């Protein structure tokens, strides 16, 4: 029996961008993968400046948005996992943004 192994470079992002409807990661192995922006409510609700303020973490294994308090792993994108945040937690976060902007 053969076992599929995925080269670790397949799980490393070298660039990330957000379009109107998707999160797109360019991987070290040359592929680009995307996930619907709807999967990540904090990114969806974020302002353009907040979305553009990110950094690759873990040698490209993930992405961190400090202004949105959001972390997304490349492995999660590849596995098709959306945000695991509960609706209650997301609502608290939304409310805190409204209060801080008042």
Tokens 């907040």 belong to residue: 50
- Is 74 contained in some domain? yes
- Is 2 contained in some domain? no
**How many angstroms from the chain centroid is the CA of residue 81?**
10
Q: pLDDT tens, 5-59?
A: 556 667 899 999 999 999 999 999 999 999 999 999 999 999 999 999 999 999 9
Gap between the Cα atoms of 24 and 13, Å rounded: 10
**Domains in the chain, number:** 1
Neighbour-count burial for 38-55, b at 16+ CB within 10 Å, e otherwise: ebbbbbbebeeebbeebe
pTM of the entire predicted model? 0.85
Question: What is the structure's pLDDT at 11?
Answer: 85
Boundaries of domain holding 28: 8-101
CATH number for the domain spanning 37: value is 3.30.2020.40
Give the contacts of 97 (CB within 8 A, at least 6 positions apart): 45
């Amino acid at each position: 029996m053969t076992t599929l192994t995925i080269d670790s470079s397949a799980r490393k992002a070298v660039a990330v961008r957000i379009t109107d409807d998707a999160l797109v990661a360019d991987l070290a192995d040359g592929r680009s993968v995307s996930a619907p922006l709807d999967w990540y409510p904090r990114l969806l609700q974020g302002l353009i400046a907040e979305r553009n303020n990110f950094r690759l973490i873990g040698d490209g294994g993930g992405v961190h948005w400090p202004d949105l308090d959001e972390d997304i792993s490349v492995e999660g994108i590849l596995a098709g996992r959306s945000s695991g945040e509960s609706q209650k937690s997301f609502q608290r976060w939304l409310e805190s943004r409204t209060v801080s902007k008042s």
